Amino acid sequence: MSLVKTPGLNKKTPSVQALGVLLFGFYCLSNPVLARDCMPAGAGEMAVVDRVYDGDTIKLKDGRHVRILGVNAPEIDHGKEKTGQPLGEESRKETETFFKANKNVRLFYDEQRVDRYERTLAHVYDAQGNSLAADLLRKGLGFHVAIPPNLSLNECLVGQETIARKKGLGIWSHPGWEAKPASELTLDDTGFQRIRGRVLSVRKAQSIWLELDGPLVVKITPTDLKNFPAVNWSAWKGKDLEVRGWVTERGASEESGKRTKPGTKKAFKSLIVQPRIVSNLELLER
């Protein structure tokens, strides 16, 4: 199968003063690694790494916990609290190796700086200007994700993921990360997943709802619709797609846009996934 390409969101990186932009441009020309590694313009903030929790989460010496923007690494085993995923340990070890020679890092912030767990959200670079997210993505040790409004490096990081995908590295060839058929999902299949399925119906209410051939519905919210430009949703009915994102149980409050007769009980799929950007929802061609 091949993927049908759709235009991506084009959002500019954080602005800096004219002199800073000029100097950074000359610096990138003389240091192509920086340009490749998706570094924003500007000075950023210097910090020191204290420890690595997993592939995409670190703790700084000042006590802050940092969630790396642009990448979702496989989970490591946390015992009863959370079971590990394939390549979780490999991803964690790669992040430890990334900071082994030098614990000094540079942080660049996007639109939103703290998440609901009070973690700092940042693009993280080592002392040489190499991007941790880009490193993990190029080696197939994480999936590219972008949660609005933090989209400034979206296009560049998609390119890093594409490198690993074309080479079949890490998650792109590991049996444990093959896309699961939607028809085989159960209520235990929550968390970050890679799923393929056929669209049985397309419903348009305030959100777009794609009902798949299994206990899963894909929801595109009104806020995120702008991240899926030029998509003819009606044409997706009967087509196969791949979706990547966090799968959760679908509550009774999740309205799919279906119209039901007054007094009748609404039927819902059991699971829901909400891809936030176009690169995490792909229409497949046979």
How far, in Å, CA of 273 to CA of 286, rounded? 24
Say which amino acid occupies 132: L
Characterize the bridge pairing of strands 104-108 and 191-204.
unpaired
- pLDDT < 70 stretches in the chain: 1-36, 79-82, 252-268, 286
What pLDDT shows up at residue 285?
Answer: 77
Peptide bond into 149 cis (omega under 30): yes
pLDDT tens readout for residues 186-210: 988 999 999 999 999 999 989 999 9
What pLDDT shows up at residue 37?
Answer: 84
Classify domain 179-285 by CATH number: 2.40.50.140
Q: Are 132 and 95 in contact (CB under 8 A)?
A: yes
Per the rule left: phi > 0, alpha: psi between -120 and 50, beta: everything else, 152 is alpha
Classify domain 2-172 by CATH number: 2.40.50.90
Q: Are 73 and 56 in contact (CB under 8 A)?
A: yes
Q: Which residues pair with 191 in a beta bridge?
A: 247
Q: For the chain, which residues make up each domain, given as ranges?
A: 2-172, 179-285
What pLDDT shows up at residue 230?
Answer: 84
Characterize the bridge pairing of strands 240-249 and 191-204.
antiparallel
Q: Which residue, among 236, 90, 93, 233, has the nearest Cα to 174 in the 3D structure?
A: 90
**Taking the model in full, what pTM does it have?**
0.82
pLDDT tens readout for residues 218-242: 999 999 999 998 889 999 999 999 9
How far, in Å, CA of 196 to CA of 179, rounded? 6
What pLDDT shows up at residue 81?
Answer: 62
Quote the mean pLDDT of the chain: 85
What pLDDT shows up at residue 91?
Answer: 98
